[in-house]
Each structure stands twice: as C-alpha cells, then as structure tokens.
Amino acid sequence: MPPPSLAVMTAVTRETSLGIRQVSEETGLSIDTLRWYEREGLLPLVERSADGRRRYPPGALRFIRLVQALRRTGMPVADVRRFVTLGGGELANHPERMALLEQQCAQIEQRMVELRDDLTVVQAKIAQYRELIARGVDCEDELPDDLLAQISADPRLRGVVPGLPA
Amino acid sequence: MPPPSLAVMTAVTRETSLGIRQVSEETGLSIDTLRWYEREGLLPLVERSADGRRRYPPGALRFIRLVQALRRTGMPVADVRRFVTLGGGELANHPERMALLEQQCAQIEQRMVELRDDLTVVQAKIAQYRELIARGVDCEDELPDDLLAQISADPRLRGVVPGLPA
DNA sequence: GCTTGCGCTGGAGTCCACTCCAGCTCCTAG
DNA sequence: CTAGGAGCTGGAGTGGACTCCAGCGCAAGC
C-alpha cells in the first residue's frame, strides 16, 4: 500500500499543526532559535508543508516544551541532543532516556535548594539595609562585630574606623 | 596623626584575612574569576599585603558570598557592578541598592516557580517512560489521544500509524 | 506582472562570562 | 645562590548558545 498522499496528511493536520511563527509565540523561543535547535538535532520531528515550510504538529509542540524545560533547567544543548537522538521510540533506549531525565531531576532539585539559600542571603542583605536606613546609619557594616571589638580593644588602632566608641 | 603602619594593620588582620587561594577554595570561585571580578568592579574592597598580594578580610569574604548569590541567581555581571559601585556606605544610595536587591528577589521567586513547573514536566515524562517500559511498548506517544482518535476515525488513514486498533 | 510578506538556507557574527597565558616579582627551602 | 612555587598584570582566547544576515523561493493581493 502506498503511503497516503501529502495532501491527505495535510488535510488532517492543517487545523492542528502550527507554523513556525505560531510556535515561536506559543513557546517564547525565537524563530531563529527554533531553526537552530532543529539544525542541532534538538527537534528531530519537524514536518514540512508542500512548499517546504515547517509545520509543527501538536506532538512536536509538546516535545519542544520538554526540550525547553530541559534547557531552562540548565541541561546543556549537547545533553539534550543526546537525549533526543536516543529517541525513535525504541524500547531499548527507554531506560537510558529515563536515566538522563532522572539525573536532570536531581540537578533541578539541587538547583532549587541553592536558589533558596541564595534567596536567603539576598533577603538578609535587604533586611540589613532596612535596618541601616531606619537607624539613619551611613556605613556598611562589612566589618563583623568581633573584628570591630578587636579593633576598639587595640589602642594602636583607635581612629582607624570612624564612628567607634572611644 | 599618621595612619597606623601597614605592619600594624597586617598584625591585626593576618589571622583573619585570607589569601586568594583560600578564598577560592572557600567560595568555589576560581582564582582567575576572583581576579576578573575585581577588575570588573564586582569586588571593590580587596586589600593588598605589603608585597602586593591580595588579602581578603572576612568582610570581603562575606561580600563575595553576596556577589556569588547574585550571580548564581542570574543577575548579569553588569547589574552586580551597578549594585557594587553604588556602594561605599553612603546613606543616600541605600534605597537604590535595596531596590536592586528586591528586584532580584522577585526574579528569584519567579525562577523558582518556573523551575518547579519544569520539574513537573520532566517528572511527567519520566512517569510516561516508566509506563511504556512496564507495558513493554516501543513507541513514543508523541501523538495525542485526540489526534489518534481522529486518525483512526478516518478510513483513508488506516495504517498510517502502526499499532492502532482497526 | 509586480510588490510585499513570510519562510528557507548556510554561514558569519555577537554576547557573556569566564579561562588561559607569557613574562614578571617576591619569598622560601635547600 | 638558585630553584621552585605562589601571585601579579595586561591581554588574548574559549565555549556555549544563540542571533543576524544575504540571497533566494513561493503565494497572495493590487
């Protein structure tokens, strides 16, 4: 049996498949980036319409979103490619693909912890500014209390740091 | 009164201040990066020992950690510089510095949401592989159910997709 | 039939954030 | 006194991920 004509395929997918512009708007990836991803082997399943333009069926769109999730969460392009080229739906590859994703999950969770910690650091600094402003104090307190104590305890250093109690 | 001699300063800070190597190990930033940050105006308060080597007092170290938090959470180097050059402990600048940090906090929170969403996407895909493996199924299910239904409903497309019920 | 707009291709260019290097100085150990 | 090691400087180089561009084709509207 010959494959169904392109015309038939088109008839079926026209309504659901998207042009590159629409995908770009839908995903936030630039048109250039979509084309570049494809060249780089990150999007293997892009169809073409009769006149050679890209058509993205919904499956492709969802795949793009997965790729996007991987990229946004810091997976390097090379690793995404690895994941993608492992594709083709062969059962034998499923474990490795899964392993890659699980690894990425671990990365993400680690990243989330780091992010939380960094957020705490920034918030602490904000609190400090709030305090300084409230007290109308100019100086940064980059000097820790213990060093300040040390300095004021040392008569040779009297006057090094302004604003210390004599 | 003349400023206290460098020797005296050194005597006080020797024990608490760190060399560049130690700071590198402490923070995970490479030695080159530390120097580069300094050149780029991200670390304005680096002291030098008598022979011209960098000495990082604890205040500097904590400042570096703040810079690191900002960088890791995605603040561009240029913005960190802006934040830093606003420094010097002048009261007038505190509001703007605070504003920058608050903006960054917002970014971080947004990023955390995005990260959670992306994690969900990846986890969903993992679940799907688990399912496919469990069922011993080869194919990706890149085709959504509705499209599958549409295809199997269309007699012209019988046979396009393998494994569909006739 | 011509212009306008969208898309295509291959290749070059850009941006950011480091990273590496040559050639120097200083200090310490043997 | 010399050999090795750590740091210093200014500048060049790198890697990753896009981003831009010239030159072309097709299709629709005037």
Count of all residues that appear for chain A in the document: 166
CA torsion B20-B26-B27-B29 (nearest 10°) is 50
Q: Is B132 on the interface with A (CB under 8 A)?
A: yes
Look up residue B140 and give its two tokens: 């990706």
Cα–Cα dist B26/B58, whole Å: 12
- How far is CA B55 from its chain centroid? 26
Question: What confidence tens digit (pLDDT) does each residue in A147-164 have?
Answer: 444 444 444 343 333 434
Cα–Cα dist B96/A119, whole Å: 18
Cα–Cα dist B111/A118, whole Å: 12
Residues 6+ apart with CB under 8 A from A137: B91
Q: Tell me which residue has tokens 């469990």.
A: B134
What pLDDT is stored for residue A163 in this prediction? 39
Q: Smallest CA–C1' separation from B23: which nucleotide?
A: D7
Give A30's Cβ-side CA count (13 Å radius). Answer: 3
Q: Tell me which residue has tokens 């005296």.
A: B8
Å separating the CA of residue B131 from the C1' of nucleotide C13: 46
What pLDDT is stored for residue A89 in this prediction? 67
Give chain A's radius of gyration (CA, Å).
29
- Given a contact cutoff of 8 angstroms between Cβ atoms, the answer to whether A72 and B117 are in contact is no
Positions of chain C reached by protein Cβ under 7 A: 6-10, 16-21, 26-27
CA torsion A59-A63-A66-A72 (nearest 10°) is -130
What pLDDT is stored for residue A15 in this prediction? 65
Residue A55's DSSP bridge partners are A47
Q: Tell me which residue has tokens 């560049």.
A: B20
Look up residue B60 and give its two tokens: 């500097």
What pLDDT is stored for residue A57 in this prediction? 95
Look up residue A139 and give its two tokens: 């100086």
- Please give the helix or strand (H or E) that residue B105 lies within, else none: helix B94-135
Nearest residue of chain B to residue A139 (CA atoms): B89
3-state secondary structure of A158: coil
Strand A54-55 with A47-48, pairing:
antiparallel
What pLDDT is stored for residue A160 in this prediction? 37
Q: What sign does the dihedral B82-B28-B53-A121 (CA atoms) show?
A: positive
Give B108 to chain A, closest Cα distance, Å: 7
Q: What sign does the dihedral B75-B76-B81-B82 (CA atoms) show?
A: negative
DSSP letter for B56, please: B
Each residue's pLDDT, cut to its tens digit, for chain B (166 residues) gives: 333 333 444 444 446 899 999 999 999 999 999 999 999 999 998 999 999 999 999 999 999 999 999 999 999 999 999 999 987 767 778 888 999 999 999 999 999 999 999 999 999 999 999 998 888 887 655 444 444 444 444 443 433 344 344 3
Domains and CATH numbers, chain A: 1-85 (1.10.1660.10)
Residues of chain A with pLDDT under 70: 1-15, 88-89, 139-166
Å separating the CA of residue B31 from the C1' of nucleotide C27: 20
Cβ–Cβ of A105/B119 closer than 8 Å? yes
DSSP, residue by residue, B20-37: HHHHHHHH---HHHHHHH
Look up residue A85 and give its two tokens: 């080229």
